[in-house]
Amino acid sequence: MSDLRISEAFLYMDYLCFRALCCKGPPPARPEYDLVCIGLTGSGKTSLLSKLCSESPDSVVSTTGFSIKAVPFQNAILNVKELGGADNIRKYWSRYYQGSQGVIFVLDSASSEDDLETARNELHSALQHPQLCTLPFLILANHQDKPAARSVQEVKKYFELEPLARGKRWILQPCSLDDMEALKDSFSQLINLLEDHEAVRM
């Protein structure tokens, strides 16, 4: 091979390296989804979302009205509108449903029978609400690290999810602050449902 051809080959290789390093362009933007997060006071909504955002546990304060967090994942950003779960706030939940693309419902799996009954009624209302009934649901049975925690099967049976949510897109997962990998996996499953739901809509 002549010196000219060798030089041309090296120049072409330099060009390819330059294209790879400098002309790659910005990575594609991650899709964003607007979600509403509901559940009774004490279910752990704020703590779970704060942990996913890598916020200090010392800064966690129970939500009294509503708050919005951008929760980043590798393949999506979830803009989560968390609504307070007190008695005097829950009656206004539906005012904040508009524009939601998915729902996160957090329940305390170790709560009293009365609170669990209230949580069941609220979840049933959400599953049947006109603005939410067709959306993907992630139902988190939180506080699985507590001795009194009910299993996922117990929660599924008590909440009558199989007959009520038949035909809907929903996931029921156990969770606790001690197992972030399981929590992140639950949200990954939700993102898959959101992608499928948006694809069907388009």
Enclosing domain of residue 35: 31-200
CATH number at residue 112: 3.40.50.300
167 known ligand binder: no
Residue 25 is assigned to a structural domain of this protein: no
143 marked as binding residue: yes
In one-letter notation, the amino acid at residue 50 is S
Contact 175, 182 (CB under 8 A): yes
DSSP label at residue 20: H
Tell me: is residue 142 an annotated ligand-binding position.
yes
Is 144 known to sit in a ligand binding site? yes
What tens digit of pLDDT does each residue of 1-50 get?
555 454 444 444 544 454 455 545 566 688 999 999 999 999 999 999 99
Residue 1 placed within a domain: no
- Among candidate residues 71, 131, 122, the one with its CA nearest the CA of residue 100: 131
- The answer to whether the annotation marks 85 as part of a ligand binding site is yes
How many domains does the structure of the chain reveal?
1
Task: Sort 51 into a burial class: Cβ within 10 Å, 0-12 / 13-18 / 19+.
Answer: middle
Please check whether residue 123 lies inside any domain of the structure: yes
> According to the annotation, is 39 in a ligand binding site?
yes
**82 annotated as belonging to a binding site for a ligand:** yes
- Give domain status of residue 4, yes or no: no
The token duo for 195 is 């992608």
Per-residue pLDDT, 198: 82
Instruction: Tell whether 19 is covered by a domain.
Output: no
Q: Say if 137 falls within a structural domain.
A: yes
Instruction: Report if residue 15 sits inside a domain.
Output: no
pTM of the shown model: 0.84
Residues in the chain, pLDDT under 70: 1-28, 58-59, 201-202
* Contacts (Cβ under 8 Å, ≥6 apart) of 82: 37, 38, 45, 46, 49, 63, 66, 67, 68, 69
Report yes or no on 47 lying in a domain. yes
Q: What is the DSSP letter of 151?
A: P
Q: Is 128 annotated as a binding residue?
A: no
Question: Is 46 annotated as ligand-binding?
Answer: yes
| Residue 43 annotated as lining a ligand binding site | yes
Q: How many residues appear in the chain?
A: 202
Structure-token match 């524009």, residue found: 99
The percentage of the chain sitting over the pLDDT mark of 70, rounded to a whole number, equals 83
